[in-house]
Every structure is written in structure tokens, then in C-alpha cells.
Amino acid sequence: AQSVAQPEDQVNVAEGNPLTVKCTYSVSGNPYLFWYVQYPNRGLQFLLKYITGDNLVKGSYGFEAEFNKSQTSFHLKKPSALVSDSALYFCAVRDIGQAGTALIFGKGTTLSVSS
Amino acid sequence: DTGVSQDPRHKITKRGQNVTFRCDPISEHNRLYWYRQTLGQGPEFLTYFQNEAQLEKSRLLSDRFSAERPKGSFSTLEIQRTEQGDSAMYLCASTFGGNEQFFGPGTRLTVL
């Protein structure tokens, strides 16, 4: 069965510091991996994805994520956090071999950036 | 606006009433998904359509829930005889080609 774990309910960082939001996954085949961000009372906004190729993926708003197959991880990173990055972040996965199937989401990590 | 839209944004209903939500996907997207999100959880899959065909339903989708996508365009999600446990945010997403899904703003349902 596919699953996603986000081990931290909340991550706190100071503005200007680097941030990391952790994600590990489990799929039977090769993964498609995604990060989404959700602001209060809003839908999910796509940040970035990994399908194949370079393990370091760059996305919107200066975010990037590193795919690590041996550790089955896909951690979200940003070199310098902004207060406006404060939001709820979700990691999601689906099996490449199962076209059209739904995404499996983690429980989410609340990122709080202090000024 | 060319994104996914959902209507209504908020719905308050009494237990036992029926409710219907609408989702308009991005126009060229052939796949449409419904998810449910409760407080402190990530979205959970309910059902998905490829064009007008409903291809998969989650075990979360009890027989009180029904979804349609006539003509492969907009979709509706109906909940009959609502229960307090149905209170959640209902999210719609669409995609073409099965990669990243684009989400609408959601419909927040409160069952009193």
C-alpha cells in the first residue's frame, strides 16, 4: 500500500534561515512525488514535483526538494525563509505504474516563520 | 479565471438534509478527482472520473454519496441524509495526463 509520512506536525524557523520540511514515502513501484501548500481556508496549491531525472527539483517561490531513493525521502527545502511562507505543507505520492490514481497525502506540516 | 472552481464555498445544513456540490475543472483536463479533508489531516481520496466515466471509488464513499460528471465537464457530489461526521472540506482537483493535480478552493460543509 502507498503511504506518506510527515514526521513533524510543526516546523518553526526564523526569517532568513534555511528551512526543511520532511517527507518519507512508501510505494510498490516507482514514485511520483509532489509538494503542495495550503493557506487558511484555501485549496491546495502545487509547489513542485519529482517524476524522473535530477534528484534536486526546483519549484515555485524558491522552494526545492531533494529525492532520495535509498532513504525513500522527498524533503522540501528553501535556503532563506520568508514570513509569507508560513502555511500548511503537504507531501503526496502516487505510483508511476498506476496511471490516473489518486494522490496519497501526508497529514501535513505547519510551517511557522517568525520575523 | 482559468483555475478549478467550486460552488458553494461554504454550506451549513441540518443533519438529515441532502447537499450537492459542484466542481468546474480546468477546461482541457480530462481527469477529475474529489477529496475530503478534515481538520489536522491531509486530503483523502473519494472518487475520480476520466471524462464522464467514474473509474474509482474509495471505501470512504458510502452509499449516501454519489458523484456524476455528465458530458465529461463539470462534476457534482451529492451527500444524502447528511450526518455530523460528514462535516469537512470537500476538494475537487483536475489534471490532464495524470501528473500534478490542480485543486479548487474547496467547499466547507458544516452539518449541525
**Residue B35, C-beta contacts closer than 8 angstroms, at least 6 positions apart:** A102, B43, B44, B45, B46, B90, B91, B92, B93
Model pLDDT, residue B98: 63
The answer on pLDDT for A98 being more than 70 is no
Model pLDDT, residue A40: 83
**Residue A61, C-beta contacts closer than 8 angstroms, at least 6 positions apart:** A47, A78, A85
Q: Answer whether A53 touches B (CB < 8 Å).
A: no
Q: Answer whether A92 touches B (CB < 8 Å).
A: yes
Cα gap A73→A68, rounded to integer Å: 5
Render pLDDT for B21-37 as a digit per residue (tens, 0 to 9). Answer: 999 999 989 999 999 99
Q: Best of A33, A60, A103, A109 to disrupt the B interface by mutation (most B CBs within 10 Å)?
A: A103
Contact residues on chain B for A103, CB-CB shorter than 8 A:
43, 45, 101
B41/A108 CB distance under 8 A: yes
Render pLDDT for A30-68 as a digit per residue (tens, 0 to 9). Answer: 889 999 999 987 789 999 999 888 899 999 999 999 999
Cα gap B14→B91, rounded to integer Å: 21
Q: Answer whether B60 touches A (CB < 8 Å).
A: no
Cα gap B74→B24, rounded to integer Å: 5
Model pLDDT, residue B1: 52
Contact residues on chain B for A46, CB-CB shorter than 8 A:
100-103
Task: Specify whether the backbone of B52 is left (phi greater than 0), alpha (psi in -120 to 50) or beta.
Answer: alpha
**Average pLDDT value for residue range B10-30:** 96
Model pLDDT, residue A27: 87
A10: closest chain B residue by CA: B40
Render pLDDT for B37-92 as a digit per residue (tens, 0 to 9). Answer: 998 899 999 999 999 999 888 888 889 999 999 988 999 999 999 999 999 999 99
One DSSP character per residue, B70-90 reads GGGS-EEEEESS--GGG-EEE
Q: Pick the closest to residue A48 from A37, A62, A34, A61 (CA basis).
A: A34
pLDDT tier at A6 (50, 70, 90 boundaries)?
very high
